[in-house]
Amino acid sequence: MLVRNLDFLSIPKEFTKVEVDIYDSKSIALVYIDGKGYSLVLKQNDNIDSIFLLKTDILPNNINEHKDRQDFINVIKMLLDKIYSVADIKEYEKQHQEHVFLRLMDMLNDGVDIEIISEETSKVYADIEKGFIKLEIDIMENKISALNSSIADVSNNLQSTVNNIEEKDWGNRIRKTINQQ
């Protein structure tokens, strides 16, 4: 009998979302998925432009010195670069990625302008849910590929070792035969 626990695929039924206006009707929304991570959503008006999933254990109240902090900020920088690539504004008028990150996390932590989204209230919920399930499956496939590669390496090394032992054994037998004559 095969048994598989798919709890790792279960997604909370509600997400917490905060949003920051960036420039010219473009905004970045941060969606917190309890126990899974975050989603960063680039929006123009109410249209979704990009969605990124971030599987991390950073909590809104524990962001300092976390190992994933800089990667998180780099994704925000990517989104800001995309927004500002079509904008003709001075550099000092652009929002800095770390400030956007801190503002979004503070909004989540302080409960400011939080929107609770669910499958019934938001289209982005379904996209995030499917994305996290796909991400978990991709992670499992990568682990399986790495395991298969390791097994193949061990098998090849074992076969090479056996061949070396056999060659030495035959070489020793030939030397003994030659030395005896």
Q: Output the pTM of the full model.
A: 0.70
Structural contact between residues 32 and 16, judged by C-beta atoms closer than 8 angstroms: yes
Report CA dihedral (73, 74, 77, 82) to the nearest 10 degrees: -140
Contact 58, 69 (CB under 8 A): yes
For residue range 87-126, list pLDDT tens digits in order.
788 888 888 999 999 999 999 988 888 888 887 877 787 7
Tokens 């079509």 label which residue? Answer: 86
